[in-house]
Chains A and B, each alone.
Chain A
């Protein structure tokens, strides 16, 4: 065991995978000597060489398209896109090819690959560096979409993603990279993709979230507890395939649901959760499902960003509304 940040746990996962499986390689911009803009690949080139930790030209479509070819030919590439906001040049590769090759070849070819991308805002970055567009990936058949919120899950989920026979979009909440440290086992272990995690059990209201918003939800659960309200915190960890049963079980138990996302509200992934609850748990509900989300604006730049980010107070208020209903 060692105390690692989420960032450190990801580095540990990559090193573990590169060590365990000769087919694994890391490919992306500045992933070599620089160790990546967030230093997630720090030290890997020294240990595994430039044939397995590959610096590329600045070309996201090229990185994903080349990694796709490598995966088809039997390797297990882990591609890094520097920021989620730079993933869109590769979107055609991801949708039209990575996600579809198993279907369009009826299992004859597949693309077992991971596309890592840091996501989310709240740290005053430059434009395009604070995106939360997970819904545009979660919408696509053939992809798995994973987003860890703890160091333990980050390592276990990344190792599971690298082992996945199907492509995984691996989202890394930038705000959580170095927020906390926790005990992370050494060596190889996996956390199952497609399984949510109940961080805090509760009986009055389910608060369902993923990624960086787990931080605000955790605070909200404490504020509510001080008021005698027992909130259950569900960290989805995987958006696709979605752990529907975990959500439904929780809502059937509490009868109330708040869905929290950093992304803009309209057509966000939270809408899918709310619809699912409507389909499968409507008669358990004592109150309408609440959504706490970013506004339907482009995420503001540094000076006004705080006006956009969903707050602990907003989550607490939404939970109280479900109890007052």
Chain B
């Protein structure tokens, strides 16, 4: 398993990014966690629909997305807000998507990040098709897709990996193995020793990395992105992490796992590891931390205000987005609603 930063924040390999970039990504980790905590709080207050926490997976998401170019495509899931935000999907739009509002699936025009996939597993082939189209059109854009260990059990995982292998599409498969698919542990998803080894069967590169190690995730993803852009095909990265929170706010992990396990996971916290590293390097102090936390908090509060300031979707939003133009039969129904 690729590892660069140990639990104490000491380098056991070479840092793939400089201190200034690391500080920038540290701020992104803090902001992602602030969003995530806010998501759970808002759901408890009845201000969001179901929320799926990403707590503990911040480095896997921020580190991998940091390796992309701004114009690269991303096809991710309901638990990947950190990665999607890194690629330009605004916090307020992510909040909308979790509040039960279709407009949460509409990122700004220059952001080619698909709305978060809610079904498990069917979206990976979309990244294959997208990146294949880019290859056929001769651009240098690649696509990354995020999914969990549970999704690798779906038949669509096989079809996506197989197409990517056969057609050498410029795709990065980023699996966050967070140990659980709702209640089912990773061992119940596959008898393989690793998820990464599945890449062998599709003739592509596969690698397991410490998903709580920002540097390892970044470096492995960067190599995969470079390979894809160079026409050398797809890569499967298994980022081994841990879902510290429940599957969603409707879930109770106490029914299926020992709380001690969650406590132990705190020792592997992906953000604390980067903080210690920066401190060792003389690039962290308490004042800066306070400023970073305050900025993150303000940013997320502002996003909540923006998301909550919108009126609910209108009948035009609902009827008007089934087709490019409303068909006559649909217009008759629309008029029943609005008359």
A107 and B125: CB pair below 8 A?
no
B317 and A106: CB pair below 8 A?
yes
- A75 interface hit (Cβ, 8 Å): yes
> Within 8 Å CB of B330, what residues of A?
241
- B133 interface hit (Cβ, 8 Å): yes
A51 and B136: CB pair below 8 A?
yes
> Within 8 Å CB of B105, what residues of A?
104-106, 108
A61 and B156: CB pair below 8 A?
yes
> Within 8 Å CB of A75, what residues of B?
133, 136-137
> Within 8 Å CB of B128, what residues of A?
65-66, 69
CB proximity to B under 8 Å, residues A163-195? 165-166, 194
Bound CA–CA A279/B68 (angstroms):
55
CB proximity to A under 8 Å, residues B291-330? 317-318, 321-324, 327-330
- A93 interface hit (Cβ, 8 Å): yes
Q: How far is the CB of A44 from chain B (nearest CB, A)?
A: 16
Q: Which of A25, A67, A105 has the largest count of B CB atoms less than 10 A from its CB?
A: A105
> Within 8 Å CB of B125, what residues of A?
61-62, 65-66, 68-69, 93
Residue of B nearest to A67 (CB): B129
> Within 8 Å CB of A70, what residues of B?
129-130, 132-133, 136
B122 and A108: CB pair below 8 A?
no
- B115 interface hit (Cβ, 8 Å): yes
Bound CA–CA A69/B103 (angstroms):
21
B163 and A109: CB pair below 8 A?
no
B109 and A62: CB pair below 8 A?
no
Task: Return the contact of A104 from the options B115, B159, B163, B166 (Cβ within 8 A).
Answer: B115
A102 with B102, Cβ < 8 A, contacts A25-B136, A66-B128, A69-B125 known: no
Bound CA–CA A69/B135 (angstroms):
12
- A124 interface hit (Cβ, 8 Å): no
Bound CA–CA A72/B160 (angstroms):
16
- B272 interface hit (Cβ, 8 Å): no
A59 and B129: CB pair below 8 A?
no
Bound CA–CA A305/B291 (angstroms):
77
B160 and A62: CB pair below 8 A?
yes
B106 and A59: CB pair below 8 A?
no
Interface residues on chain B, number (Cβ under 8 Å): 44
- B203 interface hit (Cβ, 8 Å): no
Bound CA–CA A244/B322 (angstroms):
18
Interface residues on chain A, number (Cβ under 8 Å): 44
A106 and B321: CB pair below 8 A?
yes
- B123 interface hit (Cβ, 8 Å): yes
> Within 8 Å CB of A2, what residues of B?
none
B114 and A72: CB pair below 8 A?
yes
- A73 interface hit (Cβ, 8 Å): yes
B322 and A142: CB pair below 8 A?
yes
Task: Return the contact of A105 from the options B115, B130, B137, B155 (Cβ within 8 A).
Answer: B115
A107 and B321: CB pair below 8 A?
yes
- B107 interface hit (Cβ, 8 Å): yes
- B119 interface hit (Cβ, 8 Å): yes
Contact flags A71-111 to B (C-beta < 8 A → 1, else 0): 11111000000000000010011001100011111111110
Q: Which of B105, B131, B133, B322 has the largest count of A CB atoms less than 10 A from its CB?
A: B133
- B226 interface hit (Cβ, 8 Å): no
A72 with B136, Cβ < 8 A, contacts A62-B159, A106-B106 known: no
Bound CA–CA A240/B327 (angstroms):
9
A73 and B162: CB pair below 8 A?
no
Residue of B nearest to A141 (CB): B322
Bound CA–CA A285/B133 (angstroms):
53
Task: Return the contact of B106 from the options A66, A73, A105, A241 (Cβ within 8 A).
Answer: A105
- B134 interface hit (Cβ, 8 Å): yes
Task: Return the contact of B134 from the options A62, A71, A73, A93 (Cβ within 8 A).
Answer: A73
Q: How far is the CB of B239 from chain A (nearest CB, A)?
A: 23
- A242 interface hit (Cβ, 8 Å): yes
Q: How far is the CB of B330 from chain A (nearest CB, A)?
A: 7
Bound CA–CA A59/B126 (angstroms):
14
A62 and B114: CB pair below 8 A?
no
B162 and A62: CB pair below 8 A?
yes
CB proximity to A under 8 Å, residues B126-164? 126-134, 136-137, 143, 155-156, 159-160, 162-163
Task: Return the contact of A241 from the options B107, B115, B163, B328 (Cβ within 8 A).
Answer: B328
Residue of A nearest to B73 (CB): A73
A65 with B126, Cβ < 8 A, contacts A57-B166, A142-B322, A194-B328 known: yes
B137 and A74: CB pair below 8 A?
yes
Q: Can you list 28 A-B contacts with CB-CB less than 8 angstroms, sorted by A residue number?
A: A56-B163, A59-B159, A59-B162, A61-B125, A61-B156, A62-B163, A66-B128, A66-B163, A69-B129, A70-B129, A71-B129, A72-B129, A72-B130, A73-B131, A74-B137, A75-B133, A75-B136, A75-B137, A92-B122, A93-B122, A97-B122, A103-B318, A106-B106, A142-B322, A142-B323, A165-B323, A166-B324, A241-B323
* 6 A-B pairs closest in CB distance: A69-B129, A65-B125, A241-B327, A62-B159, A73-B133, A66-B129
A-B contacts besides A57-B166, A102-B323, 17 pairs, CB < 8 Å: A56-B163, A57-B162, A65-B159, A69-B126, A70-B130, A71-B129, A73-B73, A97-B126, A103-B322, A104-B102, A105-B105, A107-B324, A108-B106, A109-B115, A144-B323, A165-B323, A244-B332
